[in-house]
Amino acid sequence: MLGFNWSSQKGATSKVDARYDFNSELPTPDILAPRGAVPTIANQEPGPWIPSTQDGSTHASSQANEEKTVANLDHGWRPWLVVIGCFCLIVPSYGLLSSIGLFQTEWEQHQLREYSKSDISWIISVFGFLDCFFAAPCGILFDRFGPRSLLLVGSTIYVASFVGLAFSTTYGQFMACFVVAGISCAAPTTVGFTVVSQWFKIREGLATGCVTVGSAVGGIFFSLVLQELFNRYEWRTGVLILAGIIMAFMTIGNFLVERNESQPTGAETEDSWDFTAIRDMIISPKFWLVSFSIFAYEMVLFSQWGSIPSYAVSTNFGDKQFYLMTTYNIGAIVGRTLPSWLSDRKLGPVNTIIIMNVFTLLVVLVVWLPFGAMAVSALFVVTVLMGVGTGSFVPLGVQCVSGLCTSRTIGTWLGFVYTFSSFATLLGNPATEAILSRQGPKALMAFLAGTLVFGLACMVSLRFVMHGGKWILVRKI
């Protein structure tokens, strides 16, 4: 629950713009603050997750920046143009990644048919792994210099990697192109997920949800596009058309996305960003708990993206794989918007993600395990429900991280969390393929359920720590 004390007196300062004071008993909603007031953290000792200067003082420039920041958040048309730009960045990056399993089935049937499914799955996994792994350096660069140059370089190389993919014919060439694509994709995804927190406060959950809908919309769009391209054109022509589509989205994103000028970069402030931010983050127990939780969610998420087509084939529903991916992403649209809205209005991101974790676990154990392989209609129901459940993990995870740090370190925090989670994306798809081929669909259900239980335990522990070691059932957090 938000617990800010408000003061409009001259000289009032704020050490940080962290979202929550979890030790406060009575909330003071932001919207009730007097005009021109500056938020301060009440009764909050400096800790590893709340940076402060060595003498506990703040600069006058920081005060002015905070006042300007509060005045500019959530208001006007500019923040929503940034949301549109971020949406356009996520569609061809995370959106394409959510339908990347269709590349695998294409290679299995044509270009790489002499390779095993497990071997081919490593190409997909390396793409997702590098996208997440390089989020940390991209996050540091974002906090230090802003999004412009980072975004321009990353999106240009990303488009070029698909041009190279169009001319590839061997396993090594496909792998090399996806390595370059994964590294360069880290820039637009990091910027797309991070910059929104600089423009929104009250509606941050809704805005983040709208951005992450780009993943689901991109999944639907690229599922249909890839099906048409692979069926109608030869490989080179189809992938060149795909590269042109990606370039169009990235161009719009580059024009619309910019940092909030009231939130100066580390290079522009007197209390400039330095590596103490990384040190303070790493020694924070909250960082590790949220990292382990998102690790589990990314494992489930990437297992879903890569395994739905293969699962359909293994259960004799292979002709429905394109439609299953579309159905999954339709469910993900609901998962990325409705829970984020509830998080803003009623529950808070931590409570909401715990609820969605339990929901997804029940879908796996109660619906998918007993009924998923019985009929194609049951598999479609499972797919849309899993889309709702796992689709909520990305925006809510971003909100959870955002609530633990300041706007000037959000890029670093989010980047390092997703770098840690990158190992889940590397192992998720090959592990899923190995389990499916050797143990069958039921073993895959057990694997997903166990991973969700682990994520739930970590997130519940995070909630406990954020409450100061108290079990408080009814509280927005």
Same domain, 156 and 242: yes
Residue at 455 is within a domain: yes
Same domain, 97 and 2: no
Q: And the tokens for 10? A: 């001259």
CA separation for the pair 56, 307 (Å, rounded): 51
Residue at 420 is within a domain: no
For 249-368, where are the E strands, in sequence order? none
Last residue of a domain, one of 19, 44, 72: 72
Residue at 473 is within a domain: no
Torsion angle of the four alpha carbons 202, 204, 210, 213, in this order, in degrees rounded to the nearest 10: -140
Same domain, 100 and 86: yes
Q: What is the pLDDT of residue 22?
A: 41
Q: What is the pLDDT of residue 312?
A: 74
Compute CA 316 distance to the chain's CA centroid, rounded to the nearest angstrom. 32
Q: Which amino acid is at 276?
A: T
Same domain, 225 and 208: yes
Same domain, 48 and 88: no
Q: What is the pLDDT of residue 87?
A: 96
Same domain, 28 and 121: no
Q: What is the pLDDT of residue 36?
A: 39
Residue at 391 is within a domain: yes
Q: What is the pLDDT of residue 370?
A: 85
* 171, 112 Cβ separation under 8 angstroms: yes
Same domain, 68 and 92: no
Compute CA 26 distance to the chain's CA centroid, rounded to the nearest angstrom. 31
* 28, 4 Cβ separation under 8 angstroms: yes
Last residue of a domain, one of 43, 72, 101: 72
CA separation for the pair 69, 308 (Å, rounded): 44
Handedness of CA 397, 178, 124, 85 (dihedral sign): positive
Same domain, 144 and 239: yes
Which portions of the chain are predicted below pLDDT 70?
1-75, 262-274, 306, 314-315, 317-319, 373, 474
Residue at 30 is within a domain: yes
Same domain, 48 and 193: no
Q: What is the pLDDT of residue 72?
A: 57
CA separation for the pair 107, 128 (Å, rounded): 17
Residue at 424 is within a domain: no
Number of domains in the chain: 2
Same domain, 178 and 68: no
Residue at 272 is within a domain: no
Which residues does 155 contact at the CB level (< 8 Å), separation at least 6?
Answer: 89, 184, 187, 188, 250, 253, 254
Which residues does 427 contact at the CB level (< 8 Å), separation at least 6?
Answer: 125, 299
CA separation for the pair 28, 336 (Å, rounded): 28
Q: What is the pLDDT of residue 274?
A: 58
Same domain, 83 and 32: no
Q: Can you name the residues that pair with 50 across neighbouring β-strands?
A: 47
Q: What is the pLDDT of residue 104?
A: 85
Residue at 471 is within a domain: no
For residue 25, the enclosing domain spans: 1-52+63-72
Q: And the tokens for 376? A: 């194609």
Compute CA 2 distance to the chain's CA centroid, rounded to the nearest angstrom. 23
Task: Look up residue 7 and give its DSSP letter.
Answer: E
Same domain, 111 and 231: yes
Q: The CATH number of the domain where 200 resides is what?
A: 1.20.1250.20
* 79, 204 Cβ separation under 8 angstroms: no
Last residue of a domain, one of 72, 101, 132: 72
